[in-house]
Amino acid sequence: MEEQEKEGIDWAEIFGHSVRFMILVWSLSMMTLGYMDKIRNDGAFLAGLTSGVLGSYGISVNKKKGGNNNNKDSKMVDNKDNTVGVQ
């Protein structure tokens, strides 16, 4: 606590966080209004802006590759002796 009093308030850091927070609130509200069909907007731009601001705070969404399919257990099937569908 004493270190903060000696150094003073870092106004540049507070300003940076407040600007990023306002951009985040604006982009999320525009996305919400877009989903409610109140306004017409570019969802990709707003989603990119939101993810960029969240990324600056270290928050990211990791997408699984393959969705619900677990590719670790995939098996090769040998169909050389299979005659199904062959006439």
Q: What is the percent of the chain with per-residue pLDDT over 70, rounded to a whole number? A: 70
Query: What is the DSSP track for 12-50?
Result: HHHHHHHHHHHHHHHHHHHHHHHHTTSS---HHHHHHHH
Q: Which residues contact 54 (CB under 8 A, 6 or more apart)?
A: 24, 60
Q: What value does the mean pLDDT of the chain take?
A: 81
pLDDT tier, 24 (very low <50, low <70, confident <90, very high otherwise):
very high
What pTM value is reported for the model? 0.60
Give dist(CA 21, CA 4) in Å, integer.
Answer: 23
Task: Report the distance separating Cα 74 and Cα 65, nearest Å.
Answer: 14
What is the tens place of the pLDDT at every residue in 55-82?
A: 998 888 776 565 555 555 666 667 777 7
With beta carbons less than 8 A apart as the criterion, state whether 53 and 24 touch.
yes
Q: Does position 6 have pLDDT exceeding 60, yes or no?
A: yes
